[in-house]
Chain A
Amino acid sequence: MKEAVRIENLHYTYPEGTQALKGISLRIYEGESVGIIGPNGAGKSTLLLHLNGILPAAGQGEGRVVALGEEIRRNDKRIRSDIGFVFEDPDEQLFMPRVFDDVAFGPLNMGLSGEEVKARVKDALRAVNLAGFEERSPHHLSAGEKRAAAIATVLSMRPQILVIDEPASDLDPRSRRNIIHLLNTFRMTKMIATHDLDMVLEVATRCILLDEGKVIKDGPGEEVLKNRELLEAHGLEMPLSLLLRSQNF
């Protein structure tokens, strides 16, 4: 298996002094779908942010992050179109007056031709079931549509690694289901940070439990999610579906 991401002994302290990561090491292989779980403040978002090199410059860090064979430094200004980053709040991912311009934003920055940009926007919107939404303004989309559009804005760059922070927070059950379905249709390497353990069970092949800036457990999805004592010791609850199964309902 080819390695997609390698993280070696990663430490990071925010300028305010919060030690968010305290020595994280892990390897992620191509095609893996990795769920990163942990309670609030565990360091999930901070870890993911290291993959696109955008963190407060004043923060202190050590360790190495290598993605797709290249080292990523904090505050790397190069375009990483091969790593697509979807932030937690879609209102921050969708900043243009219409959906088309948002989805075209990445490809245009990559210097692609007009034709290519249009083709990619079309493909990306179709991939998230938003064909025909080009002219809509992001403000008028529903929460579920915003999520999907936010994902489209990085799909249009055709990334090899998709990094998503909290893809389903504040979604109703149906929109959440749609997002889960979408994530399962993508074939690239995925890293998904979330509290939604039922979702992790459905989309992730592997699960990494973080707490207080450290990797507590790393293993096949179901194996980690079945470990009730471990999850509860770290402020999480076993996915309902597994709980029901374990009690033979």
Chain B
Amino acid sequence: MHLPEIDKYAHLDSPLHSWDPRVKIVSLFCLILSMVLASNLLVAGLGLMLAVALVFLSRIPFGFVFLHLRWVMLFVLLFFIIMPLTVSGEEIARFHFLSISRRGLELASLIGLRAFSAVLLVFPMIGTMKFSSTTAALQRLKLPNKLVQMIIFTYRYIFVALDEMGRMFMAARARGFRSGTNLHTLKTVGNLIGMLFVRSYERTEHIHRAMVSRGYDGTLRVLDEFALAKKDFLKAALVVALALGLYFAGWTL
């Protein structure tokens, strides 16, 4: 089964990998923000180029990135279908009763470019370190402790739940279940998912028990193993400058 392992390439060596996780997250977050706020196509295009360059710099294979980009593409495609047809403005083509507006096409492109750049940047941001470093950094950045714990447990148990689901469907198939488009399939799948919820609930109780028995009192503690160097700040200055550049370029261009 394919598992969503964002930190598969955390062991590589690149300027992004060696960057302090906290500074990296904050800096790249600024850059993502500037891309999401891009107000015209030119700036958004520049942003996309920058994002691609950063992915390249991170040495994460593009194949891996595209694999994870499928859903974003689907989402963007949806906008490309809906917006040119629904947004009113100068008409550039017409098929029978459907009219395609230039304004709609532009808006869809803008949204597409923004989405792609932002999602692409996630890879140099958190694909370049172990997931444990990401969560430890988020914690050091004073993200609410409960939120960090939610992220940690979601990530840890998504694998367990997927395995469990795989096993349950396998068992159902072994007993002659074949999926099809009928009521029986729907009922079976519904039951299996219900089972999964019940098991997950029991599991959370058990995990909680295991945590409490090792002294958990509601606050998650991690060892602070980060060390800042001048290089970290230089990289940050560069990236934040780019972010500001993009943001202000949107006003003047």
Do they bind each other? yes
Q: Report A's interface with B, CB cutoff 8 A.
A: 52, 54, 77, 79-81, 85, 87, 89, 91-93, 95-98, 100-101, 104-106, 108-110, 114, 117-118, 135, 137-139, 153-154, 157
Chain A residues near B135 (CB-CB < 8 A): 97
Contact A139 B159 (CB under 8 A): yes
Given known contacts A118-B223, A138-B156, A139-B160, A98 and B210 CB-to-CB distance under 8 angstroms: no
Contact A87 B206 (CB under 8 A): yes
B203 within 8 A of A: yes
Given known contacts A97-B152, A98-B132, A108-B223, A92 and B217 CB-to-CB distance under 8 angstroms: no
Chain B residues near A138 (CB-CB < 8 A): 156
Contact B216 A135 (CB under 8 A): no
Specify which of A77, A81, A92, A96 is in contact with B206 (CB 8 Å cutoff): A92
Specify which of B155, B210, B221, B224 is in contact with A97 (CB 8 Å cutoff): B155
Closest-CB distance, A166 to chain B (whole angstroms): 13
What are 13 A-B contacts with C-beta separation under 8 Å? A54-B213, A81-B215, A91-B203, A96-B132, A97-B130, A97-B131, A97-B135, A101-B132, A105-B211, A105-B216, A105-B221, A106-B214, A108-B221
Closest Cβ neighbor of B217 among chain A residues = A109
Interface hub of B159, B210, B217 (most chain A Cβ within 10 A)? B210
Specify which of A54, A81, A101, A153 is in contact with B209 (CB 8 Å cutoff): A54
B207 within 8 A of A: yes
Closest-CB distance, B130 to chain A (whole angstroms): 7
Chain B residues near A105 (CB-CB < 8 A): 211, 214-216, 221
State how many residues of chain B have any CB contact under 8 Å with chain A: 27
User: In the docked arrangement, what's the CA distance between A109 and B216, Å?
Assistant: 6
Chain B residues near A153 (CB-CB < 8 A): 214
User: In the docked arrangement, what's the CA distance between A54 and B208, Å?
Assistant: 10
User: In the docked arrangement, what's the CA distance between A97 and B152, Å?
Assistant: 7
Chain A residues near B209 (CB-CB < 8 A): 54, 87, 92
Contact B215 A96 (CB under 8 A): no
User: In the docked arrangement, what's the CA distance between A89 and B207, Å?
Assistant: 10
Interface hub of B152, B153, B160, B221 (most chain A Cβ within 10 A)? B221
Specify which of B131, B156, B215, B222 is in contact with A95 (CB 8 Å cutoff): B156
B143 within 8 A of A: no
User: In the docked arrangement, what's the CA distance between A79 and B221, Å?
Assistant: 15
User: In the docked arrangement, what's the CA distance between A101 and B211, Å?
Assistant: 12
B212 within 8 A of A: yes
Closest Cβ neighbor of A76 among chain B residues = B212
User: In the docked arrangement, what's the CA distance between A174 and B207, Å?
Assistant: 28
Chain A residues near B223 (CB-CB < 8 A): 101, 104, 108, 114, 117-118
Chain B residues near A109 (CB-CB < 8 A): 214-217, 221
Contact B213 A80 (CB under 8 A): yes
Chain B residues near A95 (CB-CB < 8 A): 152-153, 156-157, 207, 210-211
Given known contacts A97-B131, A101-B132, A109-B216, A87 and B156 CB-to-CB distance under 8 angstroms: no
User: In the docked arrangement, what's the CA distance between A110 and B216, Å?
Assistant: 9
Contact with A along B65-103 (1 / 0, CB 8 A): 000000000000000000000000000000000000000
User: In the docked arrangement, what's the CA distance between A135 and B7, Å?
Assistant: 12
Interface hub of A52, A85, A105, A114 (most chain B Cβ within 10 A)? A105
Contact B221 A96 (CB under 8 A): no
Rank and list the top 6 A-B pairs by shortest CB-CB distance, nearest first: A109-B215, A79-B215, A97-B132, A106-B214, A108-B221, A92-B206
Contact with A along B135-159 (1 / 0, CB 8 A): 1000000000000000011011101
Given known contacts A54-B212, A91-B160, A135 and B206 CB-to-CB distance under 8 angstroms: no
Closest Cβ neighbor of B204 among chain A residues = A92
Contact A139 B217 (CB under 8 A): no
Contact B156 A85 (CB under 8 A): no
Contact A52 B222 (CB under 8 A): no
User: In the docked arrangement, what's the CA distance between A80 and B223, Å?
Assistant: 21
Closest Cβ neighbor of A49 among chain B residues = B209
Closest-CB distance, B9 to chain A (whole angstroms): 14
User: In the docked arrangement, what's the CA distance between A135 and B155, Å?
Assistant: 16
Contact B222 A108 (CB under 8 A): yes
Specify which of A77, A89, A114, A139 is in contact with B224 (CB 8 Å cutoff): A114
Chain B residues near A96 (CB-CB < 8 A): 132, 152, 156
User: In the docked arrangement, what's the CA distance between A135 and B133, Å?
Assistant: 11
Contact B213 A92 (CB under 8 A): no
User: In the docked arrangement, what's the CA distance between A77 and B131, Å?
Assistant: 30
Chain A residues near B224 (CB-CB < 8 A): 114
Interface hub of B152, B160, B213, B221 (most chain A Cβ within 10 A)? B213
